[in-house]
Structure 1
Amino acid sequence: MDSTGIQPNSAPKAAISELTETLGPNGVLTTPEDCARYATDQSGLAGTPPLAVLRPASTEEMSQLMAICHRHALSVVPQGGRTGLSGGASCPAGVVAVTTERLTGVIEIDEEAMTLTAWAGTPLETVQEAARAVGLEYCVDIGARGTATIGGTIATNAGGIRVLQRGMTRDNVLGLEAVLADGSVISRLAKTVKDNAGFDLKHLFIGSEGVLGLVTRAVLRLHRQVPGTATALLALPDHAAALHCLNLARSMFGGRIVAFEGMWPDYWDFVCRETTLTSSPLADRYGFYVLIEIDAETGRAEEELEALFTELFEQGIALDGVLAKSGAEAQALWKLREAVGEVDDAFGPHINFDIGVSPSALGQFCEAADARLATLPEAGAVLKVGHIGDGNVHLLVAHDGRDISEDRIESVIYELVRDWHGAVTAEHGIGRIKARWIGCSRSPEELTLMRGLKAQLDPHGLLNPGALFAAPDAACHEIALKQP
């Protein structure tokens, strides 16, 4: 459902001509076939083929193209791997797309400083592999690692499965370089962990979804690589038991918990029983399922997980479980959790909510969401899976495919998010799809400040129009303005 409210702007042919002259024949794509490939991302939001696709190969070229677009009042949509799920890289009419696909490669690895400097278009997996080659590790990890770019993960402040141990992308970026709307370059590719010399401007661009500037390079924080992990699946009575399990695991393993993922019975039954996406390693059905992974720093991680099992069974909290004895068995357990990325066809039309609340309240929030959805004739089956340790649940709600059904379901869920002081997006970003709901997570005062920053850095509104903020003339839902 495209309700961005974006008005197409005209792009003079002179601008495209000047851009082609500046970037060269390899730097600009204009054929209908080429432009169609850059119209949208993986969100499902319908996009329009851009007027041209700009492919800078250096910071200088990015600066030059932005100066030209600024002079001609030509709006741009920044794109990385186009793996986003919120429509942030989907093109409205009358824009040019700026892709970082030629801004790629690892520039430097500093083993002593434990940093890696890379171009924004470098795939996340490439960075991970380069770090591992020298015994280090870049710990941000998401399922789309092979396609998602470093610039894209910075723009959305990507999270993923290792947030519990190493934090979001914001916690793993030491320095960056960005080009502003007028072509100005803000560059601080510093490796310093301690730097209190005024504002830390990199945080303006991390998570700002390309509306303030276009990231070109970044200095990433690395960590010492730990040889291997141990993985286990636990069957529990409910979400409250999962929290108890997490607390016990923290007391036993401290910061060595790599992942702590939760699966509700509705999700488990769908991927293991109602479809052939995966199969259950457990004979019976339970009230909750937890996938836990710890690093093998001590060299006896499997024994430690067995000790956790024993303690949980003795306390009557764990009802069943599986401890992976090989890499293949660990992958099979992870497939249970990662099958959420493959449910679309079998589940039919649905909304994939990416919600964040306090970890201690996540179970109660999901119960409240189920109760509210049960009152809606438009809502169908519900699947719940998420990152229990950081309070992020992916709530998939089936519906009949009508726009009005989507609207009613979103209204109910985002009103609930507002009442629980949660986040309408925990890791996927606002993009264009959720722009009208941002008021459920941010106060009018916060939005005023955010818009002020946007006006200061991009006074003509050329950068990623319609992303993050709803268009000024678009009607926001009343619930977004009410106070709890």
Structure 2
Amino acid sequence: MDTLINDIIDVVGKNGVLLGDDVRQRSVDWFTKASCQAKAIVRPQSTEQLSQIMKLCHAVNQPVVTHGGLTGVVHGAIATPDELVISLELMNQIEDIDAVGSTMQVQAGATLQRVQEAAEAIDMQFALDLGARGSCTIGGNIATNAGGIRVIRYGMMRQQVLGLEVVLSDGTVVSSMNTMLKNNAGYDLKQLFIGSEGTLGIVTRAVLRLHPQMPSEQTALVAVPSFQALTALLSLASKELANGLSAFEALWNNHYALMTAERTKHSPLLATDSPFYAIIETLGSDEEKDAEAFARVLEQALEAELITDAVLAQSSSQRQGIWEVREDIETLVHELDPMFSFDISLPIAHMDAYVTSLEEKLKAQWPETGQIVVFGHLGDGNLHIMISVRDAAAESRRQVEALVYGSLTQYRGSISAEHGVGLEKRDYLSLSRSFEEIALMQRLKHALDPKGLLNPGKILG
């Protein structure tokens, strides 16, 4: 491999390759902080350099693992000592913004927050938003088909991408940098790579879709007396707020009470005795009318006993305080350590039964130590479940996974809503995908990466 690394250095220069301690000091998993074990980290500065690197790797059958912002939580960035890491961190430029066409062309290593800020500078918005916005990269968002808090209005990352440039395992560059909303000239090849977790090709550049900036933003935290009331509240908000509804986040009591306990940094904005809470947010263009409509919905919800209390944000700082309760994953990790994290989806109508059953099974198996925390994107059927049994052993994880995923199958849910499969969920893929679907995935993988060099072992094994 030393010869290969020297050949790669000839392409990217000495600063483009990290070795030894510079590799080990990097974490490959947001939750565990596991150290990178790769032989080297290669940092190309252009698509052309990456193409040359992959040609070199292909010639000697060298497997590679792609790194973006390293905010993933399914072990998708793990690399063995016999593998190389390809990091897109130096390919981070915003190349073009077209305000008329509502598009932005960026390199894969640009962070989500930087893209959002560039859009805001021209009075536009890039609609994808999630808590890791300051670290996660566009390439990683594309590779995992990221979701976040505004899926209910704008869709997932797949809906934000118009064009892609990808380097295949043999170094071939497929540049499909389409800037048009409509283009039915043959197969939509970009869809092959969105959500493929770097197993079919390495995304290097993208054309992103922008939306008008919404100057009016209404946000409220509400207490909800039952799950039936929670779903009725979602229906009411969806109907009365129409296209303005941008987020509807549900917090089970076990989440809200834990996040606002005295030992944490978050003060309770509402009493902690309600079984459910929801964060409702709208985006619009008329502050006065939007505020009136939002307040009217809250009043209707109170009259119908769908909510028992509410806090309506009156400033950006208050709005931020509401969202911090939802997005502060570091506090959750600290409180539940060691913690097992799950990202599932299932029909909204079955969520309450699923969570109740799961909690009962958890308590039956770990009566003293079992703890569950539930929150998520109710409007698009996505729940995040955090479980601690105060034991990080591999066998304990397998037992917890069996409870979470085993209970999910009867509701025809998915083991992964927005985080991907990686290594962590690979063995459970057949619970959410049929034999025929997995076989087709394997055929696609073999067709595009016949040597199995790209993110080996991820998704399909």
TM range (shorter): over 0.9
Counterpart residue identity of residue 411, structure 2: W
Q: Structure 2-normalised TM-score? A: 0.96
Whole-angstrom distance in 1 between the partners of 2:58 and 2:360: 50
1:361 and 2:354 aligned? no
1:37 Cα deviation (Å)?
Answer: 3.2
Whole-angstrom distance in 2 between the partners of 1:324 and 1:162: 18
1:154-182: CA deviation from partner (whole Å, max 9, x where unpaired)? 00111111111101000100000000000
1:100-147: CA deviation from partner (whole Å, max 9, x where unpaired)? 011111100011110000000001111101111001110101111111
The change in CA–CA distance for 1:439 and 1:426 in structure 2 (over 3 A counts) is same
1:93 Cα deviation (Å)?
Answer: 2.7
1:398-453: CA deviation from partner (whole Å, max 9, x where unpaired)? 11222211111101211122221111111111111111111111111111100110
Whole-angstrom distance in 2 between the partners of 1:44 and 1:433: 13
Whole-angstrom distance in 2 between the partners of 1:201 and 1:93: 33
Q: Of 226, 236, 246, which residue of structure 1 is paired with 2:234?
A: 246
Counterpart residue identity of residue 257, structure 1: L
Counterpart residue identity of residue 299, structure 2: T
Whole-angstrom distance in 2 between the partners of 1:208 and 1:92: 20
The corresponding residue for 2:380 is 390
1:380 and 2:370 aligned? yes
Counterpart residue identity of residue 325, structure 1: Q
CA contact (8 A) 1:43 1:86 kept: no
The change in CA–CA distance for 1:284 and 1:17 in structure 2 (over 3 A counts) is closer
Whole-angstrom distance in 1 between the partners of 2:130 and 2:27: 23
Does the residue aligned with 1:63 lie in a helix, a strand or coil?
A: helix
1:134 and 2:122 aligned? yes
The change in CA–CA distance for 1:100 and 1:61 in structure 2 (over 3 A counts) is same
Whole-angstrom distance in 2 between the partners of 1:200 and 1:169: 15
1:205-243: CA deviation from partner (whole Å, max 9, x where unpaired)? 100000000000000000000113111111111222111
The corresponding residue for 1:428 is 419
CA contact (8 A) 1:45 1:90 kept: no
Whole-angstrom distance in 1 between the partners of 2:272 and 2:164: 50
1:331 Cα deviation (Å)?
Answer: 1.2
Does the residue aligned with 1:280 lie in a helix, a strand or coil?
A: coil
The corresponding residue for 1:25 is 14
1:296 Cα deviation (Å)?
Answer: 3.3
The corresponding residue for 2:210 is 222
Whole-angstrom distance in 2 between the partners of 1:82 and 1:220: 21
Whole-angstrom distance in 2 between the partners of 1:447 and 1:47: 31
The change in CA–CA distance for 1:76 and 1:113 in structure 2 (over 3 A counts) is same
Does the residue aligned with 1:64 lie in a helix, a strand or coil?
A: helix
Q: Of 101, 108, 125, which residue of structure 1 is paired with 2:89?
A: 101
Q: Of 280, 301, 310, which residue of structure 1 is paired with 2:268?
A: 280
Matched length: 458
Q: Of 292, 309, 323, which residue of structure 2 is paired with 1:303?
A: 292
Q: Of 55, 60, 70, which residue of structure 1 is paired with 2:48?
A: 60
CA contact (8 A) 2:256 2:272 kept: no
CA contact (8 A) 1:176 1:187 kept: yes
Counterpart residue identity of residue 401, structure 2: E
CA contact (8 A) 1:38 1:50 kept: no
Does the residue aligned with 1:355 lie in a helix, a strand or coil?
A: strand
Higher deviation after alignment, 271-280 or 246-255: 271-280
Q: Of 466, 472, 475, which residue of structure 1 is paired with 2:457?
A: 466
Whole-angstrom distance in 2 between the partners of 1:125 and 1:265: 30
Counterpart residue identity of residue 390, structure 1: D
CA RMSD of aligned residues (A): 1.5
Q: Of 301, 323, 330, which residue of structure 1 is paired with 2:312?
A: 323
Does the residue aligned with 1:343 lie in a helix, a strand or coil?
A: helix
Whole-angstrom distance in 2 between the partners of 1:87 and 1:47: 12
1:38 Cα deviation (Å)?
Answer: 4.0
CA contact (8 A) 1:418 1:440 kept: yes
1:285 Cα deviation (Å)?
Answer: 1.2
1:248-294: CA deviation from partner (whole Å, max 9, x where unpaired)? 11111112111100000111111112632312122351121011011
Whole-angstrom distance in 2 between the partners of 1:348 and 1:289: 24
Residue identity over aligned pairs, in percent, reads 38
Does the residue aligned with 1:112 lie in a helix, a strand or coil?
A: coil
Whole-angstrom distance in 1 between the partners of 2:63 and 2:177: 27
Whole-angstrom distance in 1 between the partners of 2:40 and 2:246: 42
1:43 Cα deviation (Å)?
Answer: 4.1
Counterpart residue identity of residue 280, structure 2: I
1:124 and 2:115 aligned? no
1:411 and 2:402 aligned? yes
The corresponding residue for 1:453 is 444
1:296-330: CA deviation from partner (whole Å, max 9, x where unpaired)? 32322222221111111111221111111111111
CA contact (8 A) 1:277 1:339 kept: no
The corresponding residue for 2:184 is 196
Does the residue aligned with 2:420 lie in a helix, a strand or coil?
A: coil
CA contact (8 A) 1:232 1:323 kept: yes
1:323-344: CA deviation from partner (whole Å, max 9, x where unpaired)? 1111111111112212334211
Whole-angstrom distance in 1 between the partners of 2:27 and 2:5: 17
1:95 Cα deviation (Å)?
Answer: 0.4
Does the residue aligned with 1:273 lie in a helix, a strand or coil?
A: coil
1:45 Cα deviation (Å)?
Answer: 7.1
Does the residue aligned with 1:374 lie in a helix, a strand or coil?
A: helix
Whole-angstrom distance in 2 between the partners of 1:431 and 1:437: 11
Higher deviation after alignment, 339-348 or 77-86: 339-348
Does the residue aligned with 1:118 lie in a helix, a strand or coil?
A: strand
1:267 and 2:250 aligned? no
Whole-angstrom distance in 2 between the partners of 1:46 and 1:38: 8
